[in-house]
Structure 1
């Protein structure tokens, strides 16, 4: 159960259901409020029409006992003077707002003008001043109850003032039943209470099905990734759906990652195999010489043992540097002057087969590791020494925002078809460009890796000209 509730489908269905429920509750509440307000306004309008109709009859001088009053069930009407005496009321009206209607004291004709002795404290400054035969324009609305023929119901009352032709001011109170409004609002509320759960069930079900269909390719990707992990077969690929949505892009990105991982693992396997092969030869040679020296000390080839040891040391250093580069080691951010580095490196190469000639050395500093860039220069010079006939030349130039270091020899040059292959690890060309057994085939690969990690490039431009381009620092 917890697995189901923790799935993406369950969370999506629950989230959609909650959002829809909140939206429906808010919309339903707004509908009920608007509907109730509209129906109350309609009831108030009907009550106002009934009150004005009765007030108009009074203003024209019609006797109170002759007033044409509407049916009490729909519009209960009570006419009272300024002292509260009921002058007229509907036949079935028993009480209004809790006050009983005393029919025995109802006026039988016009209320008539009030005498001087009738003046009392009931008058106040808020009494509307009307002329005889006038009806007040403003209407006061109130909600209350009325007892009509023994049934108490809610009504909306319209209350206004009027004066008869004798100058007597009366209050006309007419009501309109709120029962239809209450019934309508109650019906809508009941329909919402019944329909809301059903609609939420439909929303949850549809969301569940749609999410399940949308996530089906993801489950296929997950299953295939699990199978690849279990089998360690990196040549397999996850299924790519035909859709161009996020899932399709995820599948394509996953396959690209698997391809890169497969290539990396294959390159690592070749690296280990080639390194083992390269290490086997100097180690075997050194062991043989040492065993011969133990048995016959006079036959020990000390220079040869030293040469094998140096070769083994260099190879180990190259492998260690490649391992650090493959691990993503970032170069230092020191400022390095290539011209000064060329002078220093050339001054130390006194035992080279071909003297190094120094050309133009333009100024310009680059950012990076002094030791790694020195390793690049040393590898390029070693490569030139290995293939040169009589000349090795190095120069530094400035090309806009780049500092360019060129190492050139007068050897046979690199065939155009091999100019990228020579930068692969453990690659050595045939005797067409070889004067000795050379190194392990790692020098140029290391040089290009270092150049790229410094934001630059290393390439063969023409024949045997190696060009290192690095961005100017800062």
Structure 2
């Protein structure tokens, strides 16, 4: 199902409502303001034309040129006596001329005494017959005022612009508190109850924010209890394990070698699980950031991992990393777990890549192993999850390495994700803002 944001939905709803309201207003304005105004203007213009034609007919011939000149100067009307009146009317595309034709027809009472036409040069002609004389009044489009079509188009453009602007501002105002609440929710998911949910003057959002803050506080308390319980149980279990190791050592001559090796292997595996549980519980504690030289420290870490790794580990870094305040212990543990995971499961080479883009640091651990299926990308970060449980004794580990890495990243506000490569293998990317 395609989901839309609250801003988009609010913009659509408010914009649609405003468009309907403004469209109704524009229609009413056209019907009750623009059209009556155009009809009044056409009626006044027709009165001027008829009066001018009758005045011209009543004037002595020697005074008519002066009258024609006065019409040209005062009203932008050119008067002439055509050889024959226009026979074709072309007023359909000009609503104002249609109104003018109706008004002239009412005044003249005779349809055969009236012709309206348009010349190829863009001039309009009104031919009137008065006292057996045909007079042609010519004028340009600029003489037509008002122009209902242009006014309507202008109103439509203004309506659309106003509707979009008002809808955008209203939708932004409505969705802003929700976006702030969403950002606070993400902070609650990463750093826990220490992130404050902003208060809102909207009652529903205020109640929702308070409920989320209370839930986050309760979850934080439960996590603290869980950490204390795990740490206590894991610590207490190591005491009987130590006694079991001592007992096996004392009974070395009384036990067959295969039984002794099996017991020692089981105890070592239990000790590994207990240690991993302790590490996972501590991974939820935020470490204070300290300024370090990224290039120097990473080179030291990779050299230390290389000393314990049976396969080559290659480090590639940007030249402009410089110093950065980071939780160095958490970062080293994340990269160490990723490198060990790559060397443990079939890789013959591991690459550690560090890049800087603006103020963000990107760490990548790449391998050329068998890779991980896309549907398992999230599952591999779950505690104790193993893609192939039969490999546990052959490869070692408790299935907590990636879970610890993800928990450390989320605790410190970083992002860790798995990306399959085009070549065989996979790449784990750690993004640090």
Per the normalisation by structure 1, the TM-score is 0.38
Greater share of helix: 2
TM-score (norm 2): 0.41
